[in-house]
Structures are given as structure tokens and as C-alpha cells.
């Protein structure tokens, strides 16, 4: 508290903005919370220190002579800054603050996870216009002739290309040396997603979160409204920085209690007394671990280390029965908002657009602050609208604006009805305009 008060007093007389993420942390929360939570936690999230790293760590970074520093412009409306009066009042009254930040509550599909949303969206597209799978992987892009070559040899011509592949991979596919060199100043971390299925009732010490079941219009989804059931770990006794009680998201995220599953092993790694399948109930945990050249992980033993971390943090007991596990590594996990990022993007994205290529999405436009699924979807919508109508791309160019308000203007209902009527098919004479008729 003393550190927060000191920071608040110093911030009042400061005549400059924080120059980087670490300075923002200290100015908002003081050195006490910075050292206890914010610095170690954010290193675990970003795999990049909030401060300028030592020469020893910098030399471990394979693609850089110096280590990247994180800027703080990305915070904008995305990260809730503390209010010293509210914090003081809550400490005195021993009250837990509610409604924190933009993610205090959110919608989650009752069935199929978030992937179910995009599978449903994909099903609305004409099958003859889609190429899902490895055979549709982009092998080469010829920007001069406006032609894309796929892995199976098929070539596709385009007038305007909207691409969501990582922009560093995009320029490699283009073979453009100038853009490749420019993209090398972009930094990212990889993400490991770990899943652990456990037999038994979810322990009371883990806690539950409340949600309601609103019913959306027909041909839509059922969603839970969730108070974020996530836990954050700055400690060094576990590899993960965040644990999500995935079974709290929806009862459909785990097998029914009557489902019989064998026990793979106990949480401490020992063999179970019986390997015969038996009934539940079940609950599940999803963990996230970051990796970069400055924060390597032991990939071969990461699952085991994470389960031990769950024991160390009292999320699991050593004798808990593990019935399923999952581990997947996403090479491009977090686009790091480094100090160099905007200087690169302000050159790279316009140069691509001059070649009729709209690079958009979490790693297509490389702006973490507008890199969630909803942001990424709107980046595509607005790119298409810009191509057809010349309308502004708000999500790409004004992150603080879109994160600080609810979108009431841009709705998909009219467009969906229009295309459902089959009047939105392109013609050769009017390639980007709806057919009259």
C-alpha cells in the first residue's frame, strides 16, 4: 500500500508519460507490487522482461543483438489501472473489488468451445470456395503477378489479398528481401497449452464462478456469461502463468459423470491402484506456458512439470486421479508489443497494402491490443469493407477507440440477409460490388 501511495503521489507531479511497460507498472502500482507480482508475472506471460534485460540474457536471444523492451501504448483501454482510493477502501474494509477491466465478464459457447464459433462460421461459406487442410497451405505468393501457389500446386489469382498468416511468414512466402529484413525487428513468444482432466468433484478450494444462460435468436449460439474463472501465478514453483478451470466454462467441457475412463496415473506420477475404467464425475484445468529465446522451456517434460506445479500451488493433491492430458505448442503465441513494433508496422503494413495485400489478424497486423478473436474477426470485416467501400479500418488504426466502447454501428444482420438471398455473388464486371437483380 505504501508503494502504491508513493506511486500515486509521484504520478501526480510527473510531466512525462511512461516510456516503457516497466515504468508504467512502477508508476501505477509502486515497486512493492511490481517486484512481488507484476514483474515476475509478466515475464511468465510475455517471455520478455518488463525491464531491459541483462547482457547475459540478451546474448541468449537468437535473432537479436539486444533484447526487446516492451512499450506501454498497447495498454490503452485494455488493462485496468488501479484507483488508489478504491484500493485503500477495499483494504480497510477487507472487500474484494469487482467488475475489473474489460474482461470482467465474457461470453463462452455452451458447446464446442470457441472453435465451435469459427466452425459454424466456416459452414456458412460455399464449400467450393474453401480449401481447409494441409493441401491448402500457402507455398508462395507472387505479389507482382498477384498469384498465390498452394502446397498441392494449385494457383489462385487475386485482385486484393486479405491474409491472416503471421506477417513475418507472409513476407517470407513473398520472398521480398526488403520486407523480410523489416519484419526481423518484430518479436513474438510461443505458447504451450496444457490440459489436465481429473476424476472427482471440483474441490471447494478451487472455487466456482457464476454465469447465466441467455438464449440468443434462432440460428445463433447458446452462451454462458462468465465471471472469469482464471487464476494467475507469478511464482517460480510452477511453469504456467495462468490456470483456467475449463470445466467451469460449461458442463459440456468434460465427460458426463456416467462415462467410464481409466486412470492414467496419479498427480504425483505414481501408478493407480486400478487401471480399469470407472465413472466420474470429472473436472478439468487448462494451463498456459510461454516460451521464447529468452525463456526456454523443457518441452519433453513440460506436461509433467505442469502437473507438479499444480501440486505445488495446491490446485491438485498428489493422489488426484489424472484421466486425460493434452499438450500443444503454438509457435506464434503472443505478438510482443516491443518499443520497436510501431516503427516496423508503420512501414511494413502500408508497403504490403501498396502491393494490394491486406495483412490482418492477431499476427497479420501484430498488434496484441487488438489481437483477440473478436478483434481479429473485425479486422477482416473492416479490411473487406475498406476494399469494397473505402470505409475506415477502426480496429487496425484506433485500438483505444474500439477497446473503450461497444460497437453499435457495424452490424452483420443486414449483410447476412443480403448474401443469404444470393444477391451478393461477385460478377466479372463488378468484382467487388453486389450483383443487381
Cβ neighbours of residue 198 under 8 Å, at least 6 residues apart?
282, 283, 284, 285, 316, 320, 321, 322, 323
DSSP state of 333: E
Distances (CA, A) of 121 to 141, 220, 372, 387: 26, 11, 17, 21
Mean predicted confidence (pLDDT) in 204-227: 46
- In the predicted structure, residue 269 carries a pLDDT above the cut 90: yes
Q: What is the pLDDT of residue 226?
A: 42
107, 223 contact by CB (below 8 A): yes
Q: What is the pLDDT of residue 47?
A: 92
CATH 3.50.50-classified regions of the chain = 133-181+339-420
CATH 3.90.660-classified regions of the chain = 188-335
Q: Is the dihedral of CA 423, 428, 432, 433 positive or negative?
A: negative
More confident residue, 68 or 232: 232
24, 18 contact by CB (below 8 A): yes
Q: How confident is the model at residue 102 (pLDDT cuts 50, 70, 90)?
A: low
pTM of the predicted model, to two decimals? 0.80
Q: How confident is the model at residue 416 (pLDDT cuts 50, 70, 90)?
A: very low
Buried b (16+ CB within 10 A) or exposed e, 256-274: eeeeebebebbbeeeebee
pLDDT in tens, 130-170: 888 888 899 999 999 999 999 999 999 999 999 999 999 99
Cβ neighbours of residue 318 under 8 Å, at least 6 residues apart?
266, 267, 268, 311
Instruction: Please tell me the distance from the alpha carbon of residue 68 to that of residue 340, in angstroms, as a whole number.
Output: 8
Lowest mean pLDDT: which of 81-95, 153-167, 171-185, 192-206?
A: 81-95
- In the predicted structure, residue 244 carries a pLDDT above the cut 80: yes
Task: Please report which residue ranges of 94-223 form alpha helices under DSSP H.
Answer: 113-123, 167-174, 177-183
150, 134 contact by CB (below 8 A): no
Q: What is the pLDDT of residue 220?
A: 39
Mean pLDDT, the chain, rounded, equals: 81
More confident residue, 77 or 30: 30
CATH 3.50.50 fits 133-181+339-420, yes or no: yes
Percentage of the chain with pLDDT > 70? 79
| H or E element at residue 85 | helix 84-93
Distances (CA, A) of 410 to 102, 182, 322, 385, 420: 20, 34, 46, 10, 18
Mean predicted confidence (pLDDT) in 11-32: 80
| H or E element at residue 189 | strand 188-199
| H or E element at residue 286 | strand 282-291
Measured N-to-C along each axis, helices 167-174 and 341-354 cross at an angle, to the nearest 10 degrees, of 40
More confident residue, 338 or 191: 191
Question: What does CATH list as the number for 188-335?
Answer: 3.90.660
Amino acid at each position: 500500500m505504501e508503494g502504491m501511495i508513493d506511486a500515486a503521489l509521484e504520478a501526480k507531479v510527473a510531466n512525462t508519460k511512461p516510456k516503457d511497460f516497466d515504468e508504467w507498472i512502477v508508476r501505477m502500482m509502486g515497486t512493492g507490487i511490481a517486484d512481488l507480482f507484476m514483474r515476475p508475472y509478466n515475464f511468465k506471460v510475455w517471455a520478455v522482461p518488463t525491464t531491459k534485460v541483462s547482457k547475459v540474457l540478451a546474448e541468449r536471444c537468437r535473432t537479436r543483438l539486444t533484447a526487446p523492451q516492451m512499450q506501454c501504448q498497447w495498454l490503452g483501454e485494455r488493462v485496468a489501472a488501479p484507483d488508489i482510493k478504491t484500493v485503500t477502501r477495499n483494504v480497510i474494509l477487507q472487500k474484494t473489488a469487482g467488475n475489473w477491466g474489460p474482461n470482467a465478464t465474457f461470453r463462452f459457447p455452451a458447446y464446442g468451445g470457441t472453435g465451435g464459433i469459427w466452425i459454424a462460421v466456416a459452414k456458412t461459406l460455399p464449400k467450393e470456395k474453401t480449401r481447409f487442410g494441409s493441401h491448402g497451405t500457402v507455398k508462395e505468393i507472387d505479389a507482382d503477378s498477384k498469384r498465390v501457389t498452394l502446397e498441392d500446386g494449385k494457383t489462385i489469382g487475386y485482385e486484393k489479398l486479405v491474409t491472416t498468416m503471421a506477417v513475418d511468414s507472409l513476407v517470407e512466402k513473398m520472398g521480398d528481401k526488403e520486407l523480410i529484413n523489416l519484419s526481423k525487428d518484430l518479436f513474438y513468444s510461443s505458447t504451450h497449452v496444457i490440459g489436465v482432466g481429473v476424476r472427482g468433484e471440483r474441490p471447494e478450494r478451487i472455487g466456482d464462478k457464476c454465469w447465466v444462460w441467455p438464449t440468443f435468436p434462432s440460428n445463433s449460439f447458446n452462451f454462458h456469461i462468465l465471471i472469469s474463472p482464471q487464476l494467475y501465478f507469478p511464482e517460480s514453483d510452477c511453469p504456467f502463468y495462468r490456470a483456467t478451470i475449463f470445466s467451469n466454462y460449461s458442463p459440456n467441457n468434460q465427460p458426463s459423470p456416467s462415462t467410464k475412463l481409466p486412470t492414467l496415473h496419479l498427480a504425483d506420477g505414481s501408478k493407480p491402484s486400478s487401471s480399469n475404467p470407472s465413472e466420474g464425475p470429472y473436472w478439468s484445468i487448462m494451463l498456459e506456458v510461454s516460451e521464447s529465446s529468452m525463456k526456454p522451456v523443457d518441452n519433453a517434460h513440460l506436461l509433467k512439470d505442469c502437473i507438479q506445479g499444480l501440486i505445488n500451488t495446491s490446485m491438485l493433491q498428489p493422489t488426484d486421479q489424472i484421466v486425460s492430458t493434452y499438450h500443444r505448442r503454438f509457435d506464434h503465441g503472443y505478438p510482443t508489443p516491443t518499443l520497436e513494433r510501431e516503427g516496423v508496422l508503420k512501414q511494413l503494413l502500408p508497403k504490403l497494402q501498396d502491393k494490394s495485400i491486406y495483412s490482418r489478424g492477431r499476427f497479420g497486423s501484430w498488434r496484441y491490443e487488438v489481437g483477440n478473436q473478436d478483434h481479429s474477426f473485425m479486422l477482416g470485416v473492416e479490411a473487406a469493407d475498406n476494399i469494397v467501400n473505402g470505409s475506415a479500418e477502426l480496429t487496425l488504426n484506433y485500438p483505444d477507440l474500439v477497446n473503450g466502447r461497444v460497437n453499435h454501428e457495424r452490424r452483420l444482420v443486414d449483410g447476412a440477409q443480403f448474401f443469404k438471398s444470393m444477391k451478393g455473388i461477385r460478377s466479372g464486371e463488378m468484382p467487388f460490388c453486389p450483383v443487381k437483380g
